[in-house]
Amino acid sequence: MKVGIIGGAGYTGGELLRILIHHPAVEIVFVNSKSQAGKPVYSTHTDLLGDTDLLFSDDLHTDIDVAFLCSGHGESKKFLEANPSFKNINIVDLSTDYRDQSEGFVYGLAELQREKIKTAKHIANPGCFATSIELALLPLAAAGILTDDIHISAITGSTGAGQSLSTTSHFSWRSNNISIYKAFTHQHLQEIGMVVNTLQNGFDQNFNFIPYRGNFTRGIMANVYTSFDGTLEDAKKLYKKYYETHPFTHISDKPVDVKQVVNTNKCLISLEVHNGNLLISSVIDNLTKGASGQAVQNMNLMFGLDERTGLGLKSVGF
């Protein structure tokens, strides 16, 4: 498959390159970046030194099978309006622009709608927080047993804020620090509500979401709890049944931690029951399962490959 990457100089572009240069069925035709055009890819993504001699380019080619849109939020719509010929190409968009499934885009959460992704031409890749939280809730929504408010506290690494410098991503501020942001108003709430209602139509209880900035670079831990009328064994049976055919999501009998999933496309989930509440802990890598790894998983499904192709990645657990 011939691949083009738009906006290849950012974190998601770099993570996509890390995966795709070793993908057995992919040829990277171009890596577009206006700011870095003419420079080696490894000049920005220094971890790729020795792995590729690709150069950034400001050229665009439509003789490709799939385009990954890795530019900032709001930029994908602008890009497709300025380059309408790309609408005839398979697209995986990593921005927020089409996550409402407008203009024919399919929401690319394989654990929700794998069969639709297989026949889709344009995919809207889910958000990172949204992915971890949705995977925590899908089995409950599929069983139609969400009956109460959903309470979420989730922490993400600094790469979730993108590569542009800001006060809250500056090392001097972020190191040895923690803070909340966008409490109850985070932009991913819209897609989380959409996904839950896809499986449990009419669910209208509150999502009480408190996001945290963590003093680490990669990873998300989401702790989600809601009312549950059952035992821990009931919950484990429900979750293991739902995810038994999904190769990247696994149920752990022990508490999970972020180091288990960093640099991988896995989501690990642990469950606890306390006084009529089910606590679901969900961990992912925000750049892999929460972005570029999931994008490759979607590409694999679109082209009839095993969704695990190129994604046999191991975490750094120590």
Q: Is 267 considered catalytic here? A: no
Q: Do 93 and 122 contact (CB within 8 A), yes or no?
A: yes
Separation CA 106–CA 80 (nearest Å): 16
- The percent of residues in the chain predicted with pLDDT above 70, rounded, is 96
Q: What is the mean pLDDT of residues 312-316?
A: 92
Kindly give the interhelix angle for 232-242 and 128-142, rounded to the nearest 10 degrees.
110
Q: Poorest-confidence range of 70-74, 124-128, 269-273, 302-306?
A: 70-74
Token code pair at residue 220: 């998300």
Q: Are strands 2-6 and 277-284 parallel, antiparallel or unpaired?
A: unpaired
Q: Report in angstroms the alpha-carbon separations of 120 from 92, 127, 139, 256, 297.
A: 10, 19, 24, 33, 13
pLDDT value at position 160? 61
The torsion angle over the Cα atoms of residues 157, 162, 168 and 171, rounded to 10 degrees, is: 70
Q: Do 195 and 42 contact (CB within 8 A), yes or no?
A: no
Q: What is the mean pLDDT of residues 6-31?
A: 96
Residue 161 has pLDDT above 70, yes or no: no
Separation CA 218–CA 235 (nearest Å): 29
Angle at 131 between CA 70 and CA 299, to 5 degrees: 50
Q: What is the pTM of this model?
A: 0.95
Strands (E), the chain: 2-6, 27-32, 56-57, 66-69, 90-93, 106-107, 122-124, 150-156, 179-180, 207-213, 220-227, 249-252, 267-274, 277-284
pLDDT tens digits, one per residue of 178-207? 999 999 998 899 999 999 999 999 999 999
pLDDT tens digits, one per residue of 26-60? 999 999 998 899 999 999 999 999 999 999 999 89
Residue count of the chain, please give it.
Answer: 318
Half-sphere exposure of 249 (CA within 13 A, CB side): 28
Residue 269 has pLDDT above 80, yes or no: yes
Catalytic residue among 80, 128, 224, 280: 128
Q: Tokens 């970046």 label which residue?
A: 33
pLDDT value at position 164? 57
- The percent of residues in the chain predicted with pLDDT above 90, rounded, is 89
Residues whose CB falls within 8 Å of the CB of residue 121, separated by 6 or more in sequence, listed in order: 90, 91, 104, 302
Token code pair at residue 289: 């399962």
SS3 state at 248? coil
**H helix or E strand, kind and range, residue 183:** none
